[in-house]
């Protein structure tokens, strides 16, 4: 019997692939997705799961944010010849994702010249990537103290604070970052998750909307905006967002469509 089930699922997958090839690799439309889900799923999502609100939405891992000027000129970076040598090597290792190897070089650059924030920033990036979040927070703070114009440090410190469940201060960092840098969809999305957790649903909707404006294919932002709209009683709006999220690949939205939306 198990062999027959596996064979049946394999046949369904082959049929879907053939449909995609026939359509020129276009997305499966909404109704086709519903049919496929109905075939593959044997049971509904339990009612308690549909009503469950995650206490802390998992943060979306950001890419490494680099300062606006990757290689500042000598008039803007006040490193001695000796410290600059170690700084350049450390930064090169960070960019190569050799984070553990980069830290000793950045340590030496900071020891030789502790007044330049950019070295703290890159060391914070390395520590964050190594899950040394508390140490990374200290470095991003030092980066801001020594280089106030490095707004990316607020974003990275906010992310590190999320990882140690310091959500209140993380929210403050994202707010400050967004007040200066308004073109980062990840920042709006992260702030939206935190506002949603605090039950500031209208503010969360605005944040998710900004994330979508900046990144129209942000299926998670559509899904979370739908969740927030459902919380304020906007069923028409939430169903629209759930369907868009589902069409863009968020299969979790399917369960909420079945629960809240009439077809």
Q: Which of 132, 166, 200 is the last residue of a domain?
A: 166
Counting residues of the chain whose pLDDT is more than 90, the rounded percentage is 62
21 falls within a domain: no
Q: Tell me the H-state helices in 51-166.
A: 81-95, 99-112, 117-129, 133-146, 152-163
Decide if 88 is inside a domain: yes
- The pTM (predicted TM-score) of the whole model is 0.70
Same domain, 84 and 161: yes
pLDDT (tens digit, 9 = 90+) per residue, 27-44?
555 555 554 555 444 434
* Listed residues 111, 133, 166: the one ending a domain: 166
Is 41 inside any structural domain?
no
pLDDT value of residue 114: 87
What average pLDDT is seen over the chain?
A: 80
CB 112 within 8 Å of CB 86: yes
For residue 154, what are its two tokens? Answer: 């607020």
The CATH number of residue 136's host domain is 1.25.40.10
Domains identified in the chain, total number: 2
Is the model's pLDDT at 188 over the cut of 90?
yes
Residue 25 falls within a domain, yes or no?
no
Here the tokens at position 66 are 């680099």
Rounded to the nearest 10 degrees, what angle do helices 133-146 and 117-129 cross at?
160
Q: Is residue 35 part of a domain?
A: no
Residue 7: its pLDDT value, please?
55
């Amino acid at each position: 019997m198990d062999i027959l089930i596996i064979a049946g699922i394999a046949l369904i997958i082959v049929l879907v692939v053939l449909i995609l090839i026939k359509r020129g690799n276009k997305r499966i439309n909404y109704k086709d997705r519903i049919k496929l889900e109905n075939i593959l799923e044997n049971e509904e999502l339990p009612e308690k799961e549909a009503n469950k609100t995650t206490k802390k939405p998992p943060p979306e891992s950001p890419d490494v944010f680099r300062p606006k000027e990757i290689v500042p000129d000598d008039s803007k970076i006040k490193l001695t010849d000796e410290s600059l040598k170690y700084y350049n090597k450390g930064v090169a290792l960070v960019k190569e994702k050799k984070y553990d190897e980069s830290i000793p070089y950045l340590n030496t650059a900071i020891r030789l010249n502790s007044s330049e924030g950019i070295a703290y920033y890159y060391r914070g990036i390395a520590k964050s990537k190594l899950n040394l979040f508390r140490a990374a927070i200290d470095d991003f703070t030092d980066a801001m103290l020594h280089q106030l114009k490095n707004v990316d440090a607020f974003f990275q410190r906010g992310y590190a604070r999320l990882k140690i469940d310091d959500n209140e201060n993380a929210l403050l960092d994202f707010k400050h970052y967004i007040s200066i840098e308004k073109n980062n969809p990840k920042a709006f999305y992260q702030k939206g998750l935190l506002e949603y957790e605090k039950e500031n649903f209208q503010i969360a909707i605005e944040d998710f909307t900004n994330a979508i404006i900046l990144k129209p294919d942000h299926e998670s932002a559509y899904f979370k905006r739908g969740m927030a709209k459902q919380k304020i009683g906007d069923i028409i709006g939430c169903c629209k967002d759930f369907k868009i999220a589902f069409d863009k690949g968020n299969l979790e939205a399917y369960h909420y469509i079945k629960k809240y939306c009439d077809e």
